[in-house]
Chain A
Amino acid sequence: MEFDNNWLLSVMTFVPLVGAAIVMAIPKAEEELIKWAALITSLVAAGLGVFLLTDFNYDNAGELQYVADAQWISVINSRYIIGVDGIALPMIALTLLVVPLCIIYTMGHFPEPRNPKALLSLILILETGMLGTFIAQDLILFFVFFEVVLLPMFFMIAVWGGDDRRYASLKFFLYTMFGSALMLVSFLAMYFLADGTIVGDEANTFSMIALSDGATVGIARTSQLWIFAGMFVGFGVKVPMFPFHTWLPDAHTQAPTVGSVILAAVLLKLGTYGFIRIAIPMLPEAAAAWAPFIGLLAVIGIIYGALGCLAQTDMKRLIAFSSVAHMGFVMLGISTLTDFGINAAVFGMVAHGLITGMLFFIAGSVKDRYHTLDMARLGGLLISAPRMGWILGFCAMASLGLPGLAGFWGEFPAILASYNPAAILPEATFRGYMVVAALGTVLAAGYLLWMLQKTAMGTPKDEFVDNPEITDVKTYEWIAWAPLLALILALGLYPKPLFSTTDDAVVKSLQVNVMDDVPDCLNLDTDQGEACFDDLREQFEAAG
Chain B
Amino acid sequence: MSEFLRSYLTVAIFGATGCLLVGAFVGLSALVRPTRPQAQKYLTYESGVDPVGTGWSQSNIRYYVFALLFVMFDVEAVFIFPWATRLEAYGYFGLVEMAIFIFILALGLFYAWRKGVLRWV
Please determine if A and B sit in direct contact within the complex, based on CB atoms under 8 angstroms apart: no
Q: List residues of chain A with CB under 8 Å of any chain B CB.
A: none
Which residues of B are at the interface with A, using a C-beta cutoff of 8 A? none
